[in-house]
Chains A and B, each alone.
Chain A
Amino acid sequence: MKAKAISIHSARGGTGKTVIATNLAMILAKKGLSAGLLDLDFRAPSLNAIFSNALRDKPKFWLNDYLNGQCTEEQVMIDVSRNYNVEGELLIGLANPGVEAIRSILNKSSAWEVTAVKKMFALLCKLFTEMEVDCCLLDTSPGIQYSSINSAVSSDLTIAVTTMDSLDLGGTENMLANLYDALSRKTVVLVNKYSPETRTFKGEPPEAVASRVENALKHPVIGVIPCFCDVLQRERASIMAVYDPKHPFVGKIEEIAKKLEEMF
């Protein structure tokens, strides 16, 4: 796999971006690759909680500090490979969950955002060259916000995650047409939480759903993940690929990882 940056984005919240990004990064690391995972959801950071077991102390530097020019690329990335006994490597960059940090990022000027996108490119360049990362996943904020657009602009591919809810699909269609196509970004769609029991799609197999979504959104569909009630009932901070690797949800993410490897 050539070194690639992949953004995980969605038009609206609650589509499962973070769960998908975390499990995907873990699966790549378990396969022997060197994976990076960045929390770019500065408004509602969550990777710090997901990886809290792996972090003995509070991180010295957050991605917020890096974008503010207060630390280097090496200082902001945390190696958690040993904690999960993966064959490859897993490096994570966390967003500061503190209220003051969130307030500060909300008040940044558009000029600061320009510097932030340049810093993102510099971080990815360092990860791919000197730190030998094979694939870096960028977990973003939902909707059209600077952090998510900056992430999409600096990525080689964006995975737009949607459910089959009409609001999600409509938002994704709008985002694909008015943002990703306008910026000429390579984008694929991932349908999550698909339930064949819903009234509109009663009995339709995932392949038919993928084809229907592809026709409607005019972008390739990389996968359709069924809605697993037990996944929804679990703590979101538990990484399925670690604690229940044989679960069919993990199997679906492994299929997506394989497709990504084939793409690059």
Chain B
Amino acid sequence: MTEDVSNAEQSEILGRTFSLFQLISQQLDQLIRMSEKLLETQNQFLTSVNNRSVEGFPPDTLSLLTLPSSLRKTVMALYKLQKATAEDIAAETKRLRGMESAWANQLVRMGYLKKVREGRRVYFYIEPAPEMKK
């Protein structure tokens, strides 16, 4: 009798375990689908950035909306600071200096920002409009 109950319990546990595995499998499938969607969005963004003409493409306030929020915040800090090191930007955005440095350099690669080394310091800035350089 005890053995029968035990078997019944065992099969119940097995049944529950199977259901749990099914649930985990479903969740994993959903995660995979979400990751694929995220990768697709990221690729679309990178493609759109790569297809842009880097020359003469400053980050104006309306095109800010096309940037990921992490990069957007860095540009907005530079509007205010004009010319700043990653440390200065981090103090303005209240984010980590290392992250700001990575994002500012990414913006340089995208053609949004310029950078210049002055002694040991590296400064990031937005190039003035051609009509303002005169």
Chain A interface residues toward B at CB < 8 A: 68-69, 109-115, 117-118, 121-122, 125, 144, 146, 149-150, 153-154, 178-179, 182-184
Q: Which of B10-18, B20-28, B58-66, B103-111 contacts A (4 or more CB under 8 A)?
A: B58-66
> A residues within 8 A CB of B59?
114
Main secondary structure of the interface of B (DSSP, over half): helix
Known: A69-B132, A115-B128, A121-B79. A110 touches B62 (CB 8 A): yes
CA distance A114 to B107 in the complex (A): 15
Q: Are A112 and B131 in contact (CB under 8 A)?
A: yes
CA distance A182 to B69 in the complex (A): 8
**Residue on A nearest B126 in the bound complex, by CB:** A114
Task: State how many angstroms separate the Cβ of B67 from the closest Cβ of chain A.
Answer: 10
Q: Are A115 and B76 in contact (CB under 8 A)?
A: no
Q: Are A154 and B129 in contact (CB under 8 A)?
A: no
Could you say which of B56, B76, B129, B132 contacts A153, with CB atoms under 8 Å apart? B76
Main secondary structure of the interface of A (DSSP, over half): helix
**Residue on B nearest A152 in the bound complex, by CB:** B61
For the complex, is B119 an interface residue (Cβ under 8 Å from A)?
A: no
Known: A114-B59, A118-B126, A154-B79. A109 touches B65 (CB 8 A): no
CA distance A44 to B104 in the complex (A): 37
Q: Are A111 and B61 in contact (CB under 8 A)?
A: no
**Residue on A nearest B64 in the bound complex, by CB:** A183
Could you say which of A110, A153, A182 contacts B79, with CB atoms under 8 Å apart? A153
User: How many A-B residue pairs lie within 8 Å, measured between CB atoms?
Assistant: 68
Could you say which of A109, A153, A178 contacts B61, with CB atoms under 8 Å apart? A153
Q: Are A109 and B129 in contact (CB under 8 A)?
A: yes
**Residue on A nearest B59 in the bound complex, by CB:** A114
What are 12 A-B contacts defined by CB distance under 8 Å?
A: A69-B132, A111-B58, A112-B129, A112-B132, A114-B60, A115-B132, A117-B61, A118-B82, A121-B79, A125-B80, A146-B61, A149-B62
For the complex, is B73 an interface residue (Cβ under 8 Å from A)?
A: yes
Could you say which of B56, B58, B65, B131 contacts A183, with CB atoms under 8 Å apart? B65
CA distance A149 to B65 in the complex (A): 11
Q: In the complex, which residues 42-65 of chain B have their Cβ closer than 8 Å to any Cβ of chain A?
A: 56, 58-65
> A residues within 8 A CB of B60?
110-111, 113-114, 117, 146
> A residues within 8 A CB of B64?
153, 183
> A residues within 8 A CB of B82?
118, 121-122
CA distance A150 to B59 in the complex (A): 12
**Residue on B nearest A113 in the bound complex, by CB:** B60
CA distance A121 to B64 in the complex (A): 17
**Residue on B nearest A120 in the bound complex, by CB:** B79
> B residues within 8 A CB of A118?
79, 82, 126
Could you say which of B58, B65, B69 contacts A114, with CB atoms under 8 Å apart? B58
